Amino acid sequence: MDELSPSQIAETIGKELADVNQSISNLTENGLLQYRTIELNGEIELIFDASLAFERLDNLLDSQTPAATASNPQNQLKDLVETFQQELGRLLTPFEIEDLSKTVKEDGVKADLIKEALREAVLNGKPNWKYIQAILRNWRHEGIQSVAQVEAKRAEREANNPKQVQASADFLDAMNLWQE
């Protein structure tokens, strides 16, 4: 490997030698660059060790990865498949996985909305893919695009549906008179 002096670095990146020396000094002070002496072919050489800087960069990338992977469609699909398999208690067929992928990627349905449709299907005792697709289709026709809209629609439906009324015993006795 060729040796690079600070003057060669400055020339290569188009900076002044003083700027390069200042940067080297700053990196050294911040623990990102170390001077090391090594023995090479019987000679003692002074080298820059930037492995600490690379470790810090790796740590930064690792800490940012969960947020980045959450928005990654491939990871969303994996998460959806795992959720479906957990809720349905079985493995998804290749057709179901392909259809689920199409729903997310091509139709643009959000993963949380698909999970909400799955939840509704399970609560209604119909945990199958066709029923979930029907729920999603109905929501699309109603213009529902988020879980918040689903919950608002559900609350509206419950408010409009009359509650079950308990009839008094006297009323029931009076009704029985007509049957006799």
Sketch the domain layout of the chain as residue ranges: 6-58, 72-160
63 falls in which pLDDT band (50, 70, 90)? confident
Residue 69 has pLDDT above 50, yes or no: no
Contact by Cβ (8 Å): 127, 87: yes
Mean pLDDT across 54-58: 77
CATH number of 72-160: 1.10.10.630
Contacts of 56 (CB under 8 A, 6+ apart): 32
Mean pLDDT across 158-175: 74
Residue 21 has pLDDT above 80, yes or no: yes
Residue 26 has pLDDT above 70, yes or no: yes
